[in-house]
Chains A and B, each alone.
Chain A
Amino acid sequence: MMKQVGSHRLIFWLTFIPPTLWLLIFLLIPLSIIGSFSFSEKRGLIDIELSWILNNYIRAADLIYLSTLIKSIGVAGITTVICFLFGFPLALGIASAPPRWKSILLIAVILPFCVNLLIRTYALIAVFRTRGFFNFGLEWFADLINVPFEPLSLLYNDTAVILGLVYVHLPFMVLPLYAGFEGFNKTLLEAALDLGASKLELLTSIIIPIITPSIISGCILVFIPALGSYLTPELLGGPNSQMIANVIERQFMNANDWPFGSALSMVLVYLTFGILALRYLCFNNLYLDKNKRRL
């Protein structure tokens, strides 16, 4: 049937044009505008002149901005690792659940998406602040066992930012992993058990190598948005928690320096493309057809 669709010219173009137009209008054109801004300079308060200079990129290599970028990479990396540590068992659990429970558990993972990101982040503030629900719970527990209680300072520091980022990005890790598990051939496990593999060997020698493409997809789906996240460090972060997106926002607003903000944004875009290119070069053979895969 696919062959029929492919060979029918009209259907091909009809299905090809809308997503291409979408990509063009909402991604490529805005990105090229920002890209051209990054090579421009300010003229007065509102004008921007395209003069093809590299000043903005040279300024972006300054230590303050580079250190913020490296810190953002670090925070995004920690978020990805924590998401993986929580997401892997969660996805495995959902995939192994009886069919009745599978859909309920999946909905439980996806349901937070229905609530706006801003509202979810404010909810976290209400939970973690000094007079928030988490501390109320601990206080009740401490009263119960008669222990003096000092409220925990869970908000306005790096911990809060990472917690917030994990909370927001966990579904992005769980869903690709779950999809990978669903397509997994369970008879391989049975064969391995028959041949005397231990549970740990099952995990390391069978499951993880086959699931690797899903793991990589999940990691990228978490890392890249976390790297560019703005709202979570802005609302939950303390004086030390600024990330690269907060710096970029200041350039477009307070500092009124759109060319420099564009250069910083393009650095993030190049980084993203770099990561995707890296995945293609190193791991592409994993996505190829089984027959062509080099083992």
Chain B
Amino acid sequence: MKLFPGGHLSRRRFLAGTGAVAAGLSLISRQAWCDETPKLNFYNWDTYIGETTLKDFKVASGINVKMDLFADNDELFAKLKVGNPGYDLIVPSSDYVERMILADMLMPLNDDMIPNRFNIQESFFDASFDPGRKYSLPYMWGTMGIGYRKSKMNSTPDSWKWLFDSDRYKGRCALLSEASDVLGAAFKYMGYSLNTKDPKIIKEAEKLLIKQKPNIKVFAPDNGQDLLLSGEVDITMEWNGDILQVMEEDPDISYIVPKEGSAVWEDALAIPKGAPHPENAHRFINFILEPSVGAKIADFIQYATPNKAAKQLMPESYSKNPAIYPSNETLSSCESSFYLGADVVRLYDEAWSRVLSA
């Protein structure tokens, strides 16, 4: 097949060809009010969006969402620390929003583009980690607590004691593997604040954990619920959403927030600096905050939504579920975790290294 009928490719023909292509491209209709390409790079946790949310957004706005996954906040922070590799929207937890604001990694949100933000419950309008919610809006929230297998427990394990200070479940219990999570729970057990900075108290918690270590089977990074399901452990420290997932599969599993109190977490939507499509990101945030969309997401991932309009659309089995929405009494004993500064982070890490090598 002859590519250039009539002879070789002369300079004139080449210029004519490119001219034709350019003319053709300019004829492609572009939406006048959108000067960004209709794409969005979304960096999210695994199984943390509705089943059809991304498709619904494409139908509603024509924007194609490409979602990448990260496993924990540290991975998100480490990836963005050296420069934004092209993400438009990220979902950090509250203490990492704090870190990112301190490190000037986030773009302030343009409130005019997010009218749906008034669907959020009033208690979320302000936050100590993001005063005035300039950089983030809440996505989901929940608690940390104890997942357990009912048939293997002597009594309902409503205290951190059974994980931190007792050999009743020796070899059958698991803890989380992040220093701040486990140390925070240990502080709550000992009666201190989740966000303790005092080196003496940190040392006390370290000693408690070293004493308890022979009874612990494993420090599970994020799969405590799988270990519970497979019968490897009978009681584990885990996030409420993870346990809820396996509660569906196995009714013998249950979740409780210990009476000494625990951590309440919040994941927020934020736009990192250097995002290539910030307008599309704003549009997506507004879409997620719509009541029907929020309800679909909450129904699929079974976490507590801060969107009061969406919550009203949910069935009672969801809104009255104590594992998803703990009672006010329980909530009053829970605290959010804050970023405590590099020095305290280092103290926690060294204490944790000592616990692990003991």
Q: Which A residues fall within an 8 A CB radius of B? A: 42, 44-46, 64-65, 67-68, 71, 129-131, 153, 155-156, 234, 238-240, 242, 246-247, 250-257
Contact = CB atoms under 8 A, between A and B. Distances in A.
B232 A130 contact: yes
The residue among A155, A234, A253 with the most chain B CB atoms within 10 A of its own CB is: A253
B217 A131 contact: no
The residue among A155, A246, A254 with the most chain B CB atoms within 10 A of its own CB is: A254
B353 A64 contact: yes
Contacts of B171: 153
A251 B345 CA distance: 11
A239 B219 contact: yes
B77 interface: yes
A254 B179 contact: yes
B178 interface: yes
Contacts of A131: 230-232
A44 to B, nearest CB: 7
19 contacts: A42-B342, A44-B102, A45-B99, A45-B102, A46-B81, A64-B350, A64-B353, A68-B353, A129-B232, A130-B232, A153-B171, A242-B356, A250-B179, A251-B349, A253-B74, A254-B74, A255-B349, A256-B78, A256-B345
A270 to B, nearest CB: 21
B169 to A, nearest CB: 14
Contact of B230 (A46, A129, A239, A256): A129
Given A45-B99, A239-B219, A130 B349 contact: no
Interface residues of B, number: 35
B222 to A, nearest CB: 12
A64 B72 CA distance: 26
Contacts of A251: 349
Q: Top 5 nearest A-B pairs by Cβ distance? A: A253-B74, A45-B103, A255-B349, A156-B218, A242-B356
Contacts of B103: 44-46
Given A156-B218, A238-B217, A238-B218, A253 B345 contact: no
Contact of B342 (A45, A130, A250, A254): A45
A168 B179 CA distance: 29
A234 B217 CA distance: 14
Nearest to A62: B350
Given A45-B102, A239-B356, A242-B357, A156 B349 contact: no
Contacts, number: 77
Given A71-B357, A239-B356, A253 B75 contact: yes
Contact of B78 (A42, A153, A253): A253
B213 interface: yes
Nearest to B354: A64
Interface in B102-140: 102-103, 105
Given A45-B103, A129-B230, A131-B231, A64 B346 contact: no
Contact of B345 (A46, A153, A239, A255): A255
Nearest to A151: B231
A239 B353 contact: no
Contacts of A155: 232
Nearest to A252: B78
B63 interface: no
A254 B178 contact: yes
B97 interface: no
B90 interface: no
A46 B100 CA distance: 9
A68 B232 contact: no
